[in-house]
A = this chain, B = another copy of it.
């Protein structure tokens, strides 16, 4: 099948592309490489869809939200978090609903901070939770057998290593990618797949 992956050069996105491209046609999109898209700009998402034409699945691993203590969050931090990670993914579904083939799927990204917050995670926890609420409800309204799910990853091993932190509590990116593949190739809709643990869990 023909799959559009937005955020294809991030740690998780690249792992998703590697997992999918062995048996599917993958169209890689991102902010600064592959097919270009600015997820905070509705028109940019519409242009991307006009450019790629019909696809069978859309996977999104892109989207930034602020990580900063509640009382240090500027209005602009909150606005960018909502416009980027939340509304970017919401618009990917709204605008893509006409573009996907019957039975096609959207797989979005939230993150475990939605339900396991840390100090400083308010904007990210709010946005991730919103994505999970969106997915559960949007699944009920999509036509033509279209599906929508989200993967909610914990810290990723490779990201922790790149930050100079102990990678051992992290989930390998390849394991996280396995959950995205499940959403694309499976039948589920309206689901949030938590990826807490090691590689075995996501197989």
Contact = CB atoms under 8 A, between A and B. Distances in A.
Interface in A70-99: 70-71, 73, 75, 78, 82, 86-87, 90, 93-94, 97
Given A121-B137, A129-B130, A133-B130, A94 B115 contact: no
A143 interface: yes
Given A42-B75, A71-B94, A97-B71, A134 B129 contact: yes
Contact of A122 (B118, B125, B127, B141): B141
A59 interface: no
B134 A125 contact: yes
A193 to B, nearest CB: 16
Chain copies in complex: 2
Interface in A50-79: 69-71, 73, 75, 78
A87 B78 contact: yes
A126 B115 contact: no
A120 B138 CA distance: 8
Given A126-B130, A126-B134, A128-B133, A140 B119 contact: yes
A158 interface: no
Given A70-B94, A71-B97, A94-B73, A119 B133 contact: no
Given A42-B75, A82-B82, A133 B140 contact: no
Interface of A: 42, 69-71, 73, 75, 78, 82, 86-87, 90, 93-94, 97, 113-115, 117-122, 124-134, 136-143, 190
Given A82-B82, A117-B133, A129-B129, 4 more contacts: A70-B93, A117-B136, A117-B140, A129-B130
